[in-house]
Amino acid sequence: MSEMVYVIVDETTYKAKEGSLLIDLLIKENIKVPYFCYHESLGADGNCRMCMVEIEGQKRPQIACDTLIKSGMKVRSKGENIQKVRTDILELELINHPVDCPICDQAGECSLQDFYMDYGLHNAKVTIADKVKHSKHVDLGSNVMLDQERCVLCARCTRFTDKITHTHELGIIGRGDDAKVSTMPGRKLSNPYAMNVVDLCPVGALTSKDFRFSQRVWFLQTANSICHGCAKGCNIYIDHNKIKYQDDVIYRFRPRRNDAVNGFFICDEGRLSYKELQENRQEEIILHDNIITEDEALEQIKNLIQEFKNNTIITIDANLYNEEIDAIVAFAKKIDAKVYSPLEIYMDEAFGDDMLKSSNRAANAKKIQNSNIRTETPAKTGLLINFNHPQKFEADETINFATHKGKQASLTLPVAVYSENSGTLTNEDGLIQTCQKAVFKNNPTPTIIEYLIRLSS
């Protein structure tokens, strides 16, 4: 059992666990120290030498990522000496770095840029002709682009494929300043979590091919949300932007750290699932191939409910929010309809793995189970009101509340996807997590609850 001890950093006292890493304390207490190669999920590598701090009693500055907390330790992270060390090492990082900022996707979220503004601000002393040249825009596969010249050789990406995915595709080859990141000749980066290296890379060496040249990151707005790809409920950031005269568009998902759920990473499929939120959406209200207005649709629904009294079934998509499911269950009670949510269709054994991916593809299956909703397929019924469930059901008349095109029905109404609404989900471990509304469309699609309110009036 290691005990908590006191250490002093820049004349302020902090409590930390004896034997833990100094850099963890610095990060936790927001004491600004630059670093490239350290990452909490990958451990320390000690190769970038940027996180140097002065420790009383030690002649030379020490790297914080390799220093263990000892009781009474006195650390100095600011001051002229340590500033010079950082500036000098940063200068060396930059001498072979290409001046790509104008075309580099990482600009705005680049560690080199940030550290240069904090510790550099010097003029280049090496001409571009003298810089070491390597390969640029190499397609590694799995939507990852590599630019070897921009690399600072922090080895985060190689340690990721070594220690986290155990797939060993990436490595540093060569020696000295000819060292570069690569895959084996003819072999590609290929594992279900490959795109996480794009987030890990502190500079623009590894970038997303999917996001390439799409948007400058300082224009993006960020919302906290949860991926709906499976029952794991990995935490994500939704990055979106509304360009003038156009609509609010999602440009990418990024993983959001949650040590209780997904740690630092998300799977590639979940990362790219933003696309389906913006493609093939149901736009209009259709009744028997004709576009009608919302008032007409609501009228039609009320008539059908009346007509098929005691012969109505409601089906619910297991990806809807907790609040939506509760509202639908209440509505079902009011109109005396039975509620079903067949869960079999969401199971995909091939998808699940022992890392993050769950073989249950429904984001809110737990809520369905907790709410005592029937999970078997219902028999043929008179009226079926389907709230976005993917399965095809048998009924005389069907009303579909659908996010996407493609379902055959008498009456189809478009509903908002989860990014256009806020709510909570329950993941497979029973954790309730919140999604913020991210996208504010010019002509917003109504949410399910909005429809239900109008139907009740």
Partner 1 sequence: MRECKIVSRKFDIKNSHTLEVARLHDGYRTLQKLQEYAPTEIIQIIKDANLRGKGGGGAGAGEKWELMPQNSDKLSFLAVNCDESEPGTFKDRQIITKDPHLLIEGILITCYAIKAHHAYIYIRGEYKQYQDILQFAINEAYEAGLLKECDITIHRGAGAYICGEKSALLESMEGKRGHPRLKPKQKEPEWFFGNPTLVNNVETIASVPFIVQNGADAYREYGTQKSPGTLLFAMSGHVEKPGVYEAEFGTSMMEYIKYYGGGIKNGKKLKALIPGGVSCGVLTAAECENLTLDYESLRGIGSSLGTGGMILMDEDTNMVEVLKNILEFYHEESCGQCTPCREGTGWSDKLVGKILEGNATKEDIDKLLDIANTMNGKTICVFAPAVSSVIVSFIKKFRDEFEDRV
Partner 2 sequence: MSFVFSDENLLKIEELKKRYPSPEALCLPCLWMAQYQDGFIKLDAIDAISEQIGIAPMEIYRVVTFYTMFKLSPDEKLNVQVCKTLSCKLCGSDEILQHLKNKDVKITHVECLGSCGTAPVMQINDVNYENLTIEKVDTILEGLS
Residues lying near partner 2 in the complex (CB under 8 A): 168-175, 183-187
Residue 290 bridge partners (DSSP)? 287
Enter the DSSP assignment of 104. -
CA distance 75 to 67: 11
CB of 46 to partner 1, least distance (A): 5
Do 452 and 399 meet the contact criterion of CB atoms below 8 Å apart? no
> Which residue, 75 or 170, is less far from partner 2 as judged by CB?
170
Q: Stretches 42-50, 288-296, 362-370, 425-433: which one binds partner 1 (CB under 8 A)? A: 42-50
**Binding of partner 1 at residue 298 (CB under 8 A)?**
no
Check residue 227 for interaction with partner 1 (CB under 8 A): no
Residue 184 binds partner 1, judged by CB under 8 A: no
- Compute the distance between CA of residue 403 and CA of residue 356 in angstroms, rounded to an integer: 26
Distance, CA of 398 to CA of 390 (rounded, Å): 14
Task: Tell me: does residue 73 bind partner 1 (CB under 8 A).
Answer: no
- Amino acid type, 445: T
What does 96 bind: partner 2, partner 1, none (CB cut-off 5 to 8 Å by kind)?
A: partner 1
Where in 124-143 is the site for partner 1 (CB under 8 A)? 125-126, 130, 132
- Quote the least distance from Cβ 155 to partner 2, whole Å: 11
> Residue 52: CB partners within 8 Å, gap ≥ 6?
61, 62, 63, 64, 82, 85, 86, 89
> Residues 140 to 179: which contact partner 1 by CB under 8 A?
152-153, 172, 174-179
Task: List the structure tokens of 236.
Answer: 């994500």
What are the distances in angstroms from CA 119 to CA 152, 199, 237, 350? Answer: 17, 23, 29, 49
Residue 244 interacts with partner 1 (CB under 8 A): yes or no:
no
Strands (E), 217-295: 221-226, 235-242, 248-255, 286-287, 290-291
Q: Is 68 in the site for partner 1 (CB under 8 A)?
A: yes
Instruction: Single out the residue of 4, 6, 32, 46 in contact with partner 1 (rule: CB under 8 A).
Output: 46
Number of Cα atoms under 13 Å in the Cβ half of residue 408: 5
Residue 48 CB, nearest distance to partner 2 (Å)? 19
In sequence order, the β-bridge partners of residue 316 are 387
170 binds, among partner 2, partner 1, none (CB under 5 to 8 A by kind): partner 2
Q: Work out what residue 124 binds among partner 2, partner 1, none; the CB cut-off runs from 5 to 8 Å by kind.
A: none
Is the Cα torsion angle 365, 369, 373, 377 positive or negative in sign? positive
> Is 88 near partner 1 (CB under 8 A)?
yes
> Which does residue 52 touch among partner 2, partner 1, none (CB within 5 to 8 A, set by kind)?
partner 1
Q: Does position 61 bind partner 1 by CB under 8 A?
A: yes
- For the record, the structure tokens of 116 come out as 């240069």
- Residue 263 bridge partners (DSSP): 258
Could you list the residues that contact partner 1 (CB under 8 A)?
46-50, 52, 60-61, 66, 68, 85, 88-89, 91-93, 95-96, 125-126, 130, 132, 152-153, 172, 174-179
